[in-house]
Amino acid sequence: MMNQFEDFQKMSKDNIDLAVKSFGATSKSVQAIATETADYSKKAFEHSSSVMEKLVGIKTLDKAFEIQSDYAKSAYEGFVAYASKVGELYTDLAKDTVKPYETMMVKAKSATK
């Protein structure tokens, strides 16, 4: 009876340790995503502000179209790069969050055999 209680305590402690590891990985990944989003937002705002400043001083319509099309192209490329980076971060988040539980499942499977 005492042995079962000790086993239960050890299992409970292991589960808490896994939850803490999972939470730590989640917290770290979410912070990385937030940082990446803030950086992208700041760069996008600065870029659009500089384009607006350029457009204010334009004298010809051709030059305005040129500046606008360059802006659209670079904004699109910047967004695609940002989306790819954030997609990788979300993938890493999922992997890192589940990883501690994978070891628990392997231990549980080997214990039942």
pLDDT at res. 97: 82
Q: What is the pLDDT of residues 29-54, one digit of tens each?
A: 999 999 999 999 999 999 999 999 99
pLDDT at 104: 73
Domain boundaries, given as residue ranges, for the chain: 29-102
Output the pTM of the full model. Answer: 0.74
- What pLDDT does residue 34 have? 96
CA distances from 36 to 5, 56, 71, 87, 111 (A): 47, 30, 21, 11, 42
pLDDT tens-digit series, residues 67-109 = 999 999 999 999 999 999 999 999 999 888 888 777 777 776 7
